[in-house]
Amino acid sequence: MSERLQPGDPAPAFTLPDADGKDVSLADYLGRKVIVYFYPAALTPGCTKQACDFTDNLEFLAGAGYDVIGVSPDKPEKLAKFREKESLKVTLVGDPAKETLTAYGAFGEKKLYGKTVNGVIRSTVVVDEQGKVERAFYNVKATGHVAKIIKDLGL
């Protein structure tokens, strides 16, 4: 199981392709706060709910100084389909090699329908302006998670 990040840890650097195949790097966001959330698969019910929730709250979060990046093991083509089908406004990036997912503690053993499997652990990491972990949430629920983040951040 990969190590979970703790507040104060440096957020692992990443450069991943977005839905248009353009590289997105965490370094591009230095000086701004970023909510990086990890989800198992585009175009699935729970992940759609979560992505729509972030999209619905994007303006509010941006107004509070937060950008949002969604990370899944999907390829850019699938992310583009997901974005178009659901009219998503959040930045979606793909990590098919699962290196970033692993570095953030968002890939590893988890329970799925009572069985232990390896997969994406639905997680969210809030990164501060200096690139350090402000908060890390693991094994989050797809529904209601954005409201919980907003509450926990005192926004």
| Residues involved in catalysis | 47
The pair of structure tokens assigned to 117 is 């499997």
E strand or H helix at 103, and its extent? helix 99-103
d(C-alpha 5, C-alpha 23), whole Å: 24
What lies within 8 Å, CB to CB, of 56 at 6+ separation is 146
Angle at the Cα of 131 (from 133 to 24), degrees rounded to 5? 110
Which residue's entry shows tokens 């390829």? 75
Contact 55, 90 (CB under 8 A): yes
d(C-alpha 67, C-alpha 75), whole Å: 22
**131 secondary structure, DSSP code:** S
Indicate the pairing of strand 115-120 with strand 107-112: antiparallel
